[in-house]
Structure 1
Amino acid sequence: MRTHRLPATLALTAALALTATACGGGSSTSGSSNTSPKTLTYWASNQGSSLENDKQVLEPELRKFEQQTGIKVNLEVIPWSDLLNRILAATASGQGPDVLNIGNTWSASLQATGALLPFDQAAFDKIGGKDRFLPATIASAGAAGKDPAAVPLYSMAYGLYYNKKLFQAAGIAQPPTTWDEFVADGKKLTTGSQYGVAIEGGNVSENVHNAFMLGQQHGTGFFDAAGKPQFDSPAAVAAVKQYVDFIAADKIAAPGNAEYAANQSVTDFATGKAAMLMWQSAGANLKSHGMNPDDYGVVPIPAPAGATGTQAVTSMVAGINLAVFKNTKNLDGALNFVKFMTSDEEQKQLNGTYGSLPPVKAAQSDPAFGTPELKTLAGVLQNSAAPLPQVAGESQFETLIGTAVKNLLAAAAAGQPVTDASVKAELTKAQQQMPAS
């Protein structure tokens, strides 16, 4: 998924409790209960540089759909900070859109509400078939052993972006491949008002994505095989402390990064205030800030020296899925819209504009996705990416762990010591707040 949302644990609990009511529909004057066979309501996530930019990208495509089908699509672009809470309110009330974007990491949690249409064989047949999609992206569309709760729309992976000019000025010939090299290079690149790396400590989702990736490298997925949380295990403590130490001990990220949210780290990288950036499919965003692709390189995020298996994971399987509310009054139109948005041509158009990767296999052959950046990220997605835990409590996990990391980074920025004990205490508190499954 892209990033950037606010805590929603209580809202999710309410949504789970009200699922039976939610799926029955209602008499609201807005949302899916009020759509006719010739209209659809679509909630899109903020993928571009602004909400207005997304409207400029999407509205011409929605007009194409209307011309082809006679169905008008009422579009609302929702910022990431609001999207999950809006979705949870809709699942609880039964009054939502017909079709909506969801972060792929939310798939299992939203699936558990029962409010989303399961994509069984019949539903997949109506949109062109399940085998059109990359297997890794389908694996991030719902819990294992169940019909997916959504279909992939945009795919992304994390990479390490580095400023070639700043690396050259610091006498660094190659980007780092291990964390020891990363920290050593970060210290060389930290001088004056320039820092080695920009992070986004006020961004709960960015925090949990990095904690998960480092957790994999340290040997934990934050849940055991039965789905029980293990937030404060020694491996989890080591992973989170490694990330917080970019500010606390290594001092290669600016203390002010602890408050950053909403693409501020991307801005710092694009303007030369930071020499490295760990981000998912940042090319289009960097271009909007005036950065030329020739000015930076992209490589996989570092891993421990000699790492194999899960310890070599360098990214979560990132992306956006497209879901249909089960109580839509226009199911045929909604599935027709999903078919349109995941068609080869629309996949090329939309992913090409947003700088993401098409999850539809046939669309990836387009030369637009052969840039050095996207080739690197496609390799990461195929070879060293893992899906976030596909458990019903995944959404709470994101909120709680992301907030714990945010609190620890704020403490580090304030000059407070960050120790194994303080990290464990914060993670234990997060685990205690997990609702019983």
Structure 2
Amino acid sequence: MRRIRAAAVGAVTLTLTLTAAACGGGSAGTEGSNEKPRTLTYWASNQGANLEVDKKVLQPELDKFEKRTGIEVKLEVVPWADLLNRILTATTSGQGPDVLNIGNTWSASLQSSGALLPWDAKNFEAIGGKDRFVRSALDSTGAHGQDPAAVPLYSMAYALYYNKKMFAEAGVDKPPATWEEMAETGKRLSKDGKWALGAEGSNLSSNIHQVFVLAKQHGADFFTPDGKADFTSAGAVAAVEQYVDLMADEKIIAPGNAEYAKNQSLSDFAKDKTAMVLWQTASATFKAQGMDQDEWGVAPAPVRSGEPGADRATNSMVAGINMAVFKNTKNLDGAMKFVKFMTSDEEQITLNKAYGSIPPVKAAQHNRAFDDPALTVLRETLATSAAALPQVPEESQFETVVGTAVKELFADAAAGRPVTTAAVRAKLEKAQQQMPKK
């Protein structure tokens, strides 16, 4: 997901030493009366170029909701760097919003806290039914076999974006479909101070997204079927080594990218310094960087066979934002109405169009606003070749410890130190030792 990029960096701070969030669980009517609460507190995630952009997108929709229902929604757009810790604090203090956005990779972790409303059949029916939502988006709403902890709001997927000018200058006709083609094409593009592929080696969540996909392509996962950490399998080691070798061995990623985080690779792409990036639903971000749409192209992210699909042909994690309700809200009826409103066909079209994301609601996807070729690639990826990150309670710790291992390996590569299979395995063994014991 585009805005999930830095979200998991603070995910291991599970000791929750932060000050409790100030927002209460909605405003009630006069105590002891039968008057229904007429307000909701909503924590939205930062989806736009900045917080003010989100307020401009969301406030007219919240005003529309108030006009229809008489329920005022008090909006706070929370930066990604703060969001997870704010939520974790709220789950323990009981002082949180009524409704909130969460990164979909956090669903199972937050579900295990017991603080979020379970979306059972009755609750889904209240917002129009579970079958309205795309299957891949539902797969990232909580642990399998349990009622979801949230409902999908915005869907995103990774694709390979390429700079048309740099491709033309290097005489490259088309984007690579396999990793072998990536290496070959990358060497043609990496010259004269320019580089083929951008990465953000210090962005822990981005590291996880890439090595998770590569692990799927190697027939591996980072967890066993019963949820135990399994970071040192042959496939997991091969995935991490393959990713870091794009800098260490293939030399198609600039050594300086080892220190990149938070959109720095996109800036290089927009400035014709890097020819390709693997990114989530990036069109709105490129526009904010000053790029016209005809300056870049988009293709499915590479797979070993060249044909994206399921299992070993997976080429994206299921990225996106979910919407959750705190179980202790004083305005459950209003919260349910608000979720129904935000996931309605009408609002799904409006909001996802504004953010350049894909509606997880099936009917909304068919609107012509999402017929753009770039969005078509993303929609096809979500439907056929994306996989959900492990839906386990320890997912946030996984993102931090393995993401850090990849960061450290990129630092080694940038410094010219050898990145061997043994070195990769040692880093992953250390990461696994930091996971909770089951």
| TM interval, short-chain normalised | over 0.9
Q: Return the alpha-carbon distance in structure 2 between the equivalents of residues 31 and 193 of structure 1.
A: 53
Say if 2:312 is the partner of 1:311: yes
The aligned residue for residue 400 of structure 1 is 401
Deviation at 1:414, TM superposition (A): 2.3
Separation (CA, whole Å) in 1 of partners of 2:85 and 2:72: 26
Q: CA deviation at 1:192?
A: 2.3
Matching of residues 47-62 of structure 1 within 5 Å: 47-62=47-62
- Map of 2:353 onto structure 1: 352
Give the aligned partner of residue 252 of structure 2: 252
Shift of 1:415: 2.4
Report if the CA contact (8 A) 1:6-1:82 is conserved. no
Q: Say whether the 8 Å CA contact 1:11–1:89 is kept in structure 2.
A: no
CA distance in 1, matches of 2:15, 2:222: 20
Distance 1:35 1:43, change over 3 A: farther
Aligned equivalents of 1:317, 1:10: Cα separation in 2: 22
Residue 320 of structure 1: SS of its match in structure 2? strand
The 8 Å contact of residues 23 and 41 in structure 2, kept in 1 or not, is answered as no
Distance 1:295 1:306 in 2: 24
Counterpart contact for 1:298–1:373, Cα < 8 Å? yes
Are the aligned partners of 2:41 and 2:99 in contact in 1 as well (CA < 8 Å)? yes
| Contact 2:11 2:84 (8 Å CA) reproduced | no
Cα contact 2:221–2:235 (8 A) shared by 1? no
Kindly provide the amino acid, as one letter, of the partner of residue 428 in structure 2.
L
Amino acid at match of 1:305: S
Distance across 1 between alignment mates of 2:246 and 2:82: 28
Deviates more, 1:291-300 or 1:378-387: 291-300
Q: Secondary structure at the match of 1:216?
A: helix
Counterpart-to-counterpart distance in 1, 2:404 and 2:78: 22
Question: How has the CA–CA distance of structure 1 residues 267 and 340 changed in structure 2, closer, same or farther, with 3 Å as cutoff?
Answer: same
Mean CA deviation greater in 248-257 or 298-307: 298-307
The correspondence of residues 217-228 of structure 1 with structure 2, limited to 5 A, is: 217-228=217-228
AA in 2 matched with 1:190: S
Alpha-carbon distance, 1:364 to partner: 0.9
Counterpart of 1:30 in structure 2 is 23
The count of corresponding residues between Structure 1 and Structure 2 is 426
2:51 & 2:28 partners in 1: Cα distance?
Answer: 24
Distance 1:153 1:6 in 2: 19
Q: Report what 1:21 is aligned to.
A: none
> 1:13-412 residue pairs with structure 2 within 5 A?
30-32=23-25, 37-305=37-305, 309-412=310-413
Cα deviation for residue 163 of structure 1 reads 1.2
CA distance in 1, matches of 2:75, 2:118: 23
Does the 8 A contact of 2:348 with 2:364 survive in 1? yes
Spell out, residue by residue over 1:217-241, the C-alpha distance to the aligned partner (whole angstroms, 9 max, x if none).
1111111112111112221111011
Off by >3 Å, runs of 4+ in structure 1: 6-15, 33-36, 306-309
| Cα distance between partner residues in 2 of 1:10 and 1:303 | 31
1:297-336 C-alpha deviation (Å, 9 max, x unpaired): 1111111136764110000111110000111111111111
> 1:353 aligns to what SS in structure 2?
helix
Deviation at 1:205, TM superposition (A): 0.7
Partner residue of 1:20?
none
Letter aligned with residue 4 of structure 1 = A
1-side partners of 2:28 and 2:351: how far apart? 25
Instruction: Classify the secondary structure of the residue corresponding to 1:169.
Output: helix
Question: In structure 1, what residue type is equivalent to 2:321?
Answer: I
Counterpart amino acid of residue 245 in structure 2: D
Q: Do 2:12 and 2:396's aligned partners in 1 also have CA atoms closer than 8 Å? A: no
Q: 2: CA distance between counterparts of 1:350 and 1:150? A: 18
Give, in angstroms, the shift of residue 10 of structure 1: 4.7
Structure 1 residues 34, 193: CA separation in 2 closer, same or farther (over 3 Å shift)?
Answer: farther
TM-score w.r.t. structure 2 length? 0.93
Going from structure 1 to structure 2, the CA distance change for 1:190 and 1:138 (only over 3 Å counts) comes to same
Amino acid at match of 2:202: G
Identity, % of aligned positions: 60
3-state DSSP class of the match of 1:113? coil
What displacement does 1:11 show?
A: 3.6
Q: Distance in 1 between matches of 2:410 and 2:367?
A: 41
Out of 4-13 and 416-425, give the one that drifted further: 4-13
User: Shift of the alpha carbon at 1:110?
Assistant: 0.8
Q: 1:82 to 1:414 in 2, by over 3 A?
A: farther
* Structure 2 gaps, min length 5: 30-36
Shift in Å at residue 30 of structure 1?
Answer: 2.8
C-alpha separation in 1, matches of 2:432 and 2:206: 19
CA distance in structure 1 between the partners assigned to 2:227 and 2:202 by the alignment: 28
Q: Which moved more, 1:71-80 or 1:355-364?
A: 71-80
Root-mean-square deviation over aligned CA pairs? 1.8
Q: Which amino acid aligns with 1:359?
A: P
Contact persistence 2:16–2:85 (CA under 8 A): no
SS at 2:247 equivalent: coil
Cα distance in structure 1, aligned partners of 2:319 and 2:157 = 5
Report how far residue 118 of structure 1 moved.
0.3
Taking structure 1 as the reference length, the TM-score comes to 0.94
Q: Distance in 2 between matches of 1:387 and 1:9?
A: 18
SS in 2 for 1:272: coil
Is 2:154–2:357's contact at 8 Å kept on the other side of the alignment? yes
| Distance in 1, Cα, partners of 2:304 & 2:22 | 55
Shift of the alpha carbon at 1:35? 5.6
SS at match of 1:352: helix
3-state SS of the aligned residue for 2:278? strand
**Aligned-pair CA distance for 1:418:** 1.4
- Whole-angstrom distance in 1 between the partners of 2:201 and 2:47: 20
Query: C-alpha separation between the residues in 2 aligned to 1:372 and 1:9?
Result: 35
Q: Secondary structure at the match of 1:246?
A: helix
Deviation at 1:34, TM superposition (A): 5.2
Contact in 2 for aligned 1:105/1:394 (Cα 8 Å): yes
Equivalent AA in structure 1 for residue 373 of structure 2: P
Whether the 8 Å contact between 1:158 and 1:301 is mirrored in structure 2 is yes
Separation of aligned partners in 2, 1:60 and 1:246: 45
Match of 1:415 in 2: 416
The 8 Å contact of residues 197 and 276 in structure 2, kept in 1 or not, is answered as yes
Q: 1:4 maps to what in 2?
A: 6
